[in-house]
A and B are shown apart, each in its own frame.
Chain A
Amino acid sequence: MGESFVAYGVRLGLRGQTSAALSLLRGHLPPHARSAGVRGVDRLYSLVLGGDGPRPGVRRLHILYADHVRIARSEDLDTVLSAFESEVEGFVGVHAPARVFVHAGVVGWRGRAIVIPGRSFSGKSTLVRALLDAGTTYYSDEYAVIDMRGRVHPYDRPLSLRTPGAVPGVRPSRHEPESLGVRRGRKALPIGLIIATRFRDGARFRLRPASAGEGVLALLSNTLSARMRPAVTMIALREAVGGARVLKGLRGEAAETVQQILSIANCS
């Protein structure tokens, strides 16, 4: 069985032996992926479900292919689906035409976006959650999707929340924004504030104004397509920082940081 989708302009094919397998993959597509019915796709994902084998004591593994390449094989279906999600997000992020995907948390505040670039485990999801609790609108806790005019589009997949003090390796739980009382942002926003911070336990919130160029480098070092499409990336990032304030520095606990960020954003 097969189905095709388009996500941010990238055509994706899904294939599974059963509708259940297909449905599992569908549930882990990037946000705003829509069924397309296109004939050719940019990448075809195939899930082979494992389970009990033909003989007692034999188990088949779950296997995921991207085109002809096996990208995951495990007894644990969640591990395979997590690999699918990570792979498909990365593929769309690198190949989306006229969009630049920056690994960042994004919230909307008074018609402008606050962008917090950072890799996994940099604490950006925690900071995004704290900003949402303060009344901002949700755009993304994973990618800032920037168009060629420098505006940020929503990448509003369910929020990932790690339990405080959780050991590494434990997957974060996912929550629909509405279940947390959070509003989703709908329209593309210009960037008002870029916060390039590093978390340090016990650190005082200490940010210094930085230049637009420093903002470009902060975004560039978290951009998926930077190496593959440098010219497009650089133009989009130049536009993105055009009207933005850039702040760099250290931050401590998210809750203490939020009010200061919003008061800075109010002055932008």
Chain B
Amino acid sequence: MGDRLPKARVDDLHVEDLPGELIVYDLARHRAHRLNQAAKLILQHCDGTTTREQIARVLERELGAIHAEAQVDLALAVLARKHLLDGVTPYRESRRLWLRRLGLAGGAALPLVATIGVPRPARAATCLATGATCSSNAQCCSGLCLFTICV
């Protein structure tokens, strides 16, 4: 792990704090992330002044986490990959590797971040199935209207 103190990104984000979880909308990438309680706690302590060891202590204290430092490393790697940490971070290891290291592949208390791509308006709207008669690409679920037929 790198020496830099982790710092949460604050620009171009909309954050909704729900009980036990956090929803973060990335306005630049149009992706929405749901952080579970452990990931939320870790992100909230990424203030650029708190070390990963200190964050691990918080995780132990608040959630009774085991292997807290490894969990923090896992979370930082995931958060960095999802562009939720500021700047170029050295947290670049695969989730599978961390799970193996933690020996907790089925662990429920692991920091988790679920992500969805937010749809464009046309994709979220009503659309026509393959084979339907169409007159513009926007009408088709596939986005392709070829010779008046959705393909």
In the complex, identify which listed stretch (A33-41, A48-56, A85-93) lies at the interface while the others stay far away.
A85-93
A234 touching B133, Cβ below 8 Å:
no
B34 touching A216, Cβ below 8 Å:
yes
Within 8 A of B (CB), among A227-249: 227-228, 230-231, 234-235, 238, 241
For residue A217, give the distance in angstroms from its CB to the closest CB of chain B.
Answer: 5
B129 touching A169, Cβ below 8 Å:
yes
A212 touching B124, Cβ below 8 Å:
no
In the assembled complex, which residues on chain B have CB atoms less than 8 Å from the CB atom of A89?
Answer: 125-126
Let me know if B148 is at the binding interface, CB within 8 A.
yes
Let me know if B150 is at the binding interface, CB within 8 A.
yes
A227 touching B120, Cβ below 8 Å:
yes
Given contacts A120-B129, A227-B30, whether A71 and B135 have CB atoms under 8 Å apart is yes
In the assembled complex, which residues on chain A have CB atoms less than 8 Å from the CB atom of B124?
Answer: 103, 119, 221-224, 226
Task: Tell me the bound Cα distance from A120 to B125 in angstroms.
Answer: 8
Cross-chain contact of A72 among B32, B126, B129, B136 (Cβ < 8 A):
B136
Let me know if A191 is at the binding interface, CB within 8 A.
no
- Residue ID in chain B nearest A223 by CB atoms: B124
A234 touching B131, Cβ below 8 Å:
no
Contact with A along B13-26 (1 / 0, CB 8 A): 01010111111010
Task: Tell me the bound Cα distance from A224 to B122 in angstroms.
Answer: 7
Cross-chain contact of A119 among B14, B18, B23, B127 (Cβ < 8 A):
B127
In the assembled complex, which residues on chain A have CB atoms less than 8 Å from the CB atom of B25?
Answer: 230, 234
Contact with B along A205-220 (1 / 0, CB 8 A): 0000001111011001
Given contacts A103-B126, A119-B127, whether A73 and B118 have CB atoms under 8 Å apart is no
- Residue ID in chain B nearest A86 by CB atoms: B126
In the complex, identify which listed stretch (A18-26, A75-83, A252-260) lies at the interface while the others stay far away.
A75-83
B136 touching A217, Cβ below 8 Å:
no
Task: Tell me the bound Cα distance from A217 to B128 in angstroms.
Answer: 24
Let me know if B97 is at the binding interface, CB within 8 A.
no
In the assembled complex, which residues on chain A have CB atoms less than 8 Å from the CB atom of B121?
Answer: 90, 93-94, 224-225, 227-228
B125 touching A213, Cβ below 8 Å:
no
For residue B81, give the distance in angstroms from its CB to the closest CB of chain A.
Answer: 18
Let me know if A168 is at the binding interface, CB within 8 A.
yes
For residue A242, give the distance in angstroms from its CB to the closest CB of chain B.
Answer: 9
Let me know if A167 is at the binding interface, CB within 8 A.
yes
B116 touching A119, Cβ below 8 Å:
no
Cross-chain contact of A212 among B21, B126, B132 (Cβ < 8 A):
B21
B136 touching A231, Cβ below 8 Å:
no
Let me know if A142 is at the binding interface, CB within 8 A.
yes
Cross-chain contact of B32 among A121, A142, A220 (Cβ < 8 A):
A220
Let me know if B114 is at the binding interface, CB within 8 A.
yes
Within 8 A of B (CB), among A90-145: 90, 93-94, 103, 119-121, 142
5 CB-based A-B contacts, threshold 8 Å: A80-B135, A90-B122, A171-B132, A216-B34, A222-B124
